[in-house]
Structure 1
Amino acid sequence: MHENLEGAETLSLAKAADYLIEECRMVLPGVQALFGFQLVAVFNQRFDDALTHGEKLVHLGAIALVGVAIALIMTPAAYHRLTAPDRVTGHFVRISTRLMMLGMPFLMLGLVLDTYLVGRLIDGHVVAGVVAAALMAVFSMLWFGLPLLARARRSGEAPR
């Protein structure tokens, strides 16, 4: 490991892969629980009575989005096991990072759509739309805006 000017360490490939897989493991249980709740919701009588056909299709779309997120987030572990279980490459770390990050927008959209539907059942379209839009803004800022801002600041800093 090497320490750079900011006091951060440059990780070995093995350590970077360990962190990446651990990050996937941290995200996955919550995503899988959400997926289970989404599947169970369709068996609830209120789901059938209170949602329009179009809203039921929105829910199906949200389930599909979360399913895609699960597939993308789980792929690094499967990829590693099937391609090179005895070693770690820079290619593995790069592709796995991209897969995990590609899964996050799918997860975000699935959560936002289902939040809209729950809000619609509780208080109508306007409140549901506002809450869903606010949630989308929060996810976008925290998952993408904040890290991209930090990366831009880091790359724009002059060496000390």
Structure 2
Amino acid sequence: MNAGPESRDGRRETPEERADRRWNDLLQEVRVVLTGVQILFAFLLAVVFQPRFADVSDTDRALYVVTVVLASATLGALVGPVALHRILTGRQVKPQTVDWAARLTVLGLGLLLGTMTSALLLVLRAVVDDTLAAWLTVPVAGWLAVCWLLLPLWARGRAGAGRGRPDA
């Protein structure tokens, strides 16, 4: 164990060591989600070049555009931490860099919720009638919101607000 002061979360680490640990944790989290986003984005880009795309309805075309824009924004938010780190490396602002990168990651997860919802609706509209597609999409979107937002917020509340500054 290092000789640094003990933080509010019980770890004995310097602010720099804490920033390094948080950065490594964040990178692992982004790696998990980024691969899936890249694959989804690649499939979305390929769809427009399929012969059947010319036959899609105006509604599906608009939904496709929304989905591609959301996927692009998601990818941007999730790659953003890398750009922040690269541009700010050596400027002695790692704790702030990690904070901003964490915020971008949370934003990326929110955008991913929108991307997944619109992509699911787009695919389901091609397979089942529009009403059933909507009825299937809404609970899945709700489930994603529970898993990605409500459960983490509930767990954070259960951990207690008085236990020190949480890793954002």
The Cα shift of 1:46 comes to 2.7
Relative distance call for 1:18 and 1:156 in structure 2 (3 A) is: closer
List runs of 5+ in structure 2 lacking aligned partners. 164-168
Contact 2:88 2:97 in 1 (8 A): no
Partner-residue secondary structure (3-state), 1:43: coil
Letter of the 2:159 counterpart? R
The Cα shift of 1:156 comes to 5.8
Letter of the 1:144 counterpart? L
RMSD: 2.3
Letter of the 2:156 counterpart? R
Contact 2:117 2:137 in 1 (8 A): yes
The Cα shift of 1:94 comes to 1.1
The Cα shift of 1:28 comes to 0.9
Q: 1:114 aligns with which of 112, 116, 119?
A: 119
TM-score under structure 2 normalisation? 0.82
1:96 has 2:101 as partner: yes
Matched with 1:54 is 59
Paired residues for 1:11-160 under 5 Å: 12-49=18-55, 51-85=56-90, 89-155=94-160
Letter of the 1:34 counterpart? L
List runs of 5+ in structure 1 lacking aligned partners. none
| Cα deviation digits, residues 7-48 of structure 1 (max 9, x gap) | x75872111111112211221111010000001111223332
Residue-pair matches, total = 155
The Cα shift of 1:87 comes to 5.4
TM-score under structure 1 normalisation? 0.86
Structure 1 runs of 4+ aligned residues shifted over 4 Å read: 1-5, 8-11, 85-88
